Amino acid sequence: MRCLIYAKTKDTAWLRDYFPDIEPYLLKIVNKPLLEYAMDFASLLGVNELRIVTDSSTKDIEAFFGTGAKWGVKTSYGLAFPNDSLKTVYLKNMAFCKEDDLLIWNGFFFLLYDQSKLCFEKEFSQAFYTGSKRFIYLPKDFKLLDLKAEDIRDPECLETKDIASITQYYELSMNILKKHNEKYVLPGYSNEKDTFLGLNLVYPHSSEIHPPIMIGNNCRFQRNTLIGGNSIIGNNVIIDENTCVTDSIVYDNTYIGRDLDMDKKIVYKGYLTNAENGEVIQINDRVLVAQVEPGIVTSMFNRAVQRILALVLFVLQILPWLILYVPFALFGSSVRTDKLLNRNMRSRKFVDSEKLQNTLWGRFLLRLSLDKFDKVCAAAFTKELYLVGNRLFTNTLNHRKLINELPAYNPGAFSLAESVASRDTEAEIFYELEYINYISTHHNLKILGRTILRRLIHGCAGFDGSKN
């Protein structure tokens, strides 16, 4: 069996007011992209080849699904003109469509189904299409043009739901979470009914989590927070002290401040939407970070302590650097990396810790943190870097976009992510938000001490953002 998905954008214009930079067909419903539900359904029915045709760029969709190997469905892609009808798209892809039985997924909608009750032999014994022509089944050698009025049928185990407004999107998400979560493959693990938890979830005993609830990866809830019920929390989310989130959807990479009461809200970056009436407020402080005070990062006391410590490290390292590192750099191999961004978003080259780690002598230099010497110099004598700060990122489009989502960016020679040896690129913004949220001189000293100690013991570079 084959499947043709026509991902037309005609019905998705309303999304731009709420999710301006999301590919509509990758809009998450209960932390899972809409089109992935279609892929799951196709895989469940034994579809072996699938083609996604869109009237806009396929870049984001193709980056997410790739060849379809994850779903066991060979996936290809095609383009259509904005005004192309389903009939036109079908005819343009006739070579693909005529080879086998065919499912057609037409437009922006959600297919409600129960995987435990789906009966292929009964429901797909003959050609049919739903009244809205959203979902169509054609046996081999049966053409789209052969469909007649008597072929209209809504199978018992299938129901198409249009998503034409933010309120419909919210209602559908809550309906799946509260009533139908057992019918689909949802992300996270479930240790009790109606509870789905991602990896690396951290919350204190004073924090409460109430089902039904969906929580993504790399989330952290602070003291006295109450999450749920009926809440969907994305990946890399921090919710600060004394905040209550109920009946709400919080998208990925979001920080929610303290002492807030969020009920029936949809949070996406700087957009806060009332789920009941669709009213949206754009918040100028990115990702609800009004209560994060980045000014403390640049406070005079903190800056003075950092500079003094950087000077101390400079004095301690200069002789070992001249004796041990310089000859290695001159006669060994190049140890320069890609350009890294400083606090003014300009870039320069620094020592590549990963290359040092590939040699025995390099690993010895890492134990002494001599790969950090040029960064320590920059922290001691310039305003480019802090001794401890945000992670240094390479000068790429994705990293510039990530930095723009942060309330402040003050990169340092040492970082929180490196102190915990994190190499999870999906959690990049999580550690930066956490660092900004808890920034203090005491916190910086802990990060510095922990990183230097870990290097002395393990002789490894950790992850300082120098790699993509």
Query: pLDDT by residue for the chain (468 residues), tens digit each?
Result: 999 999 998 889 999 989 988 999 999 999 999 999 999 999 888 899 999 999 988 889 999 999 999 999 999 999 999 899 999 999 999 999 988 999 999 999 999 887 777 767 667 878 898 888 899 999 988 999 888 888 888 777 788 999 999 999 999 999 999 999 988 889 988 878 899 999 888 888 889 999 999 999 888 898 899 998 899 999 888 888 889 999 999 998 888 877 888 999 999 877 889 999 999 887 765 444 333 333 434 466 777 888 899 999 999 999 998 998 888 877 765 666 667 887 777 888 888 777 777 778 888 888 888 889 989 998 899 888 889 988 888 888 888 877 877 767 888 999 888 887 656 666 677 788 778 766 778 888 889 998 888 888 876 655 444 443
- Position 48 scores a pLDDT of 92
- Position 468 scores a pLDDT of 38
Q: Is residue 34 within 8 Å of 134, Cβ to Cβ? A: no
Residue type, 49: E
Distance CA 110, CA 465 (A): 38
| CA-wise closest residue to 55 among 12, 20, 103 | 12
Distance CA 175, CA 376 (A): 53
402-435: burial string, b at 16+ Cβ within 10 Å, e else: bbebbbbbbbbbbbbbbbeebeeeebbbbbbbbb
Distance CA 181, CA 336 (A): 50
| Residue 454 exposed, middle or buried by CB count within 10 Å (0-12, 13-18, 19+) | middle
Element (H, E) at 43: helix 34-44
Structural domains in the chain plus CATH codes? 2-165 (3.90.550.10), 187-288 (2.160.10.10), 294-458 (no CATH)
Q: 236 phi and psi, to 5 degrees?
A: 60, 55
Element (H, E) at 227: strand 226-228
Token representation of residue 214: 């969906």
Global confidence as pTM: 0.70
| CA-wise closest residue to 401 among 280, 285, 249, 253 | 253
Residue type, 103: L
| CA-wise closest residue to 105 among 160, 43, 60 | 160
Which DSSP string do the residues of 106-174 spell out, in sequence order? ESSEEEEE-TTT--HHHHTSS-EE-TTSSEEEE-TT--GGG--GGGB---TTEEEEE--SHHHHHHHHH
| CA-wise closest residue to 374 among 395, 397, 398, 356 | 356
| Residue 330 exposed, middle or buried by CB count within 10 Å (0-12, 13-18, 19+) | exposed
Task: Give the position of tokens 């057609």.
Answer: 104
- Position 427 scores a pLDDT of 66
- Position 192 scores a pLDDT of 86
Pairing of strands 244-246, 226-228: parallel
Distances (CA, A) of 272 to 73, 284, 387: 37, 11, 36
Token representation of residue 110: 């959600």
Q: Could you give the dihedral angle defined by the CA atoms of residues 92, 96, 97 and 99, in that order, rounded to the nearest 10 degrees? A: 140
- Position 10 scores a pLDDT of 86
- Position 292 scores a pLDDT of 34
- Position 398 scores a pLDDT of 80
- Position 205 scores a pLDDT of 87
Q: Is residue 163 within 8 Å of 175, Cβ to Cβ? A: no
HSE, side-chain direction, 13 A CA sphere, residue 24: 25
